[in-house]
Amino acid sequence: MEKILVIGAGGQLGSELTQALANQFGGEQVIATDLRDSARSAFDFCRFQTLDVMNKEALRDLVKEEKVTQIYHLAAVLSATGEKNPLFAWHLNMDSLLYVLELAKEQKLDKIYWPSSIAVFGPNTPKFNTPQFCVKEPNTVYGISKQAGERWCEYYFEKHGVDVRSLRYPGLIGYKSLPGGGTTDYAVDIYHKAIANEKFNCFLREDSYLPMMYMPDAIKATLDLMNAPRESVKIRSSYNLAGMSFSPKEIFESIKKHVPDFQIEFNPDFRQAIADSWPDSIDDSRAREDWGWQPDYDLDGMTTDILKNLPSYFPPKNTLI
Ligand code: SER
């Protein structure tokens, strides 16, 4: 019987992935953890406990007491927030991964999931259809920590047989949580402004292309990878993964089809340099070949779905309910 521990469950990915894991394994088998006790109310479908992943003794005790078999380690400081406190971001992103990998080795856990990101790429990486294997010289602390983390994952797989699996997510876009300090998060925020009838102030240039993915596709990819037979997972650093690529202008136009009066203004800030260092589009053929990956959503499909569902999750401020 699998027992799943989700670390950082209250974040953008965790809040949706934990639900999917509870659907697959049953709520009693899933323990959602987060630093903040306030996250508790979102997890009535599974178990919940507060956990500071930097407290490695507490982490080990929990894993042993609960006989955890799989860990999904999602806690991280994202790109834009990371630049405000680089040493803290490095410390949190790196040390926590090493605690989890060591624990997996020591307790012989079945599987580990750890997300990587397009942030592992840098200004010298080929920008279009970025290959799985290529130059990576990330210049954000978030990207550096993800790149180093990928090397550690592969190392623990090869030296210690730890079954750790990972995806290089594009910018993830979902409507069930608020933006969380990422450079790609403008594409989450823009929908909130559209339903509130507010002008959107975009911190990237109108032509700044980035690889993106709608959350249901990200959840599907994660479960497909984790459910794939061990021998099908041939890349143990992290898989390139693609959904769609668009610019701020294109997402604005997609929303305007539903909200004709929507307005936008472009005021690039420090996040533009981060976006400029990342690819425009990603070659994910290895994920397609090795474990059958295929995305379901394009930009317009995502926009239609978000505009239909977002208002009931986060009613716009100017609406009386
Ligand atoms: N979405 C992340 C960010 O912008 C990239 O993985 O930080």
Q: Is residue 4 within a helix (H) or strand (E), and if so which, with residue range? A: strand 4-7
Burial class, 150, CB count within 10 angstroms (exposed 0-12 / middle 13-18 / buried 19+): buried
Gap between the Cα atoms of 178 and 225, Å rounded: 26
How many other C-beta atoms can be found within 10 angstroms of the C-beta atom of residue 18? Answer: 29
Give the per-residue SS3 of 223-262.
Answer: HHHHHCCHHHCCCCCCEECCCEEECHHHHHHHHHCCCCCC
Ligand 1 atom with the smallest distance to the CA of 146 is: 6
Main-chain dihedrals φ then ψ at residue 262, nearest 5 degrees: -60, 140
pLDDT tens, 76-135? Answer: 999 999 999 999 999 999 999 999 999 999 999 999 999 999 999 999 999 999 999 999
Place of tokens 């490095």: 90
Ligand 1 pocket by Cβ (under 6 Å): 78-79, 117-119, 142, 169, 171, 182-184
d(CA 143, CA 125): 13
Q: What is the pLDDT of residue 317?
A: 63
Residue nearest to atom 2 of ligand 1 (CA): 182
- pLDDT at position 320, please? 47
| Contact by Cβ (8 Å): 71, 112 | yes
With a cut of 50, list the residues of the chain below it in pLDDT.
320-321
Catalytic residue flag (residue 142): yes
What the chain holds in terms of domains, given with CATH numbers, is: 4-170+214-240 (3.40.50.720), 174-212+244-281+297-313 (3.90.25)
Partners of 50 in beta bridges: 34
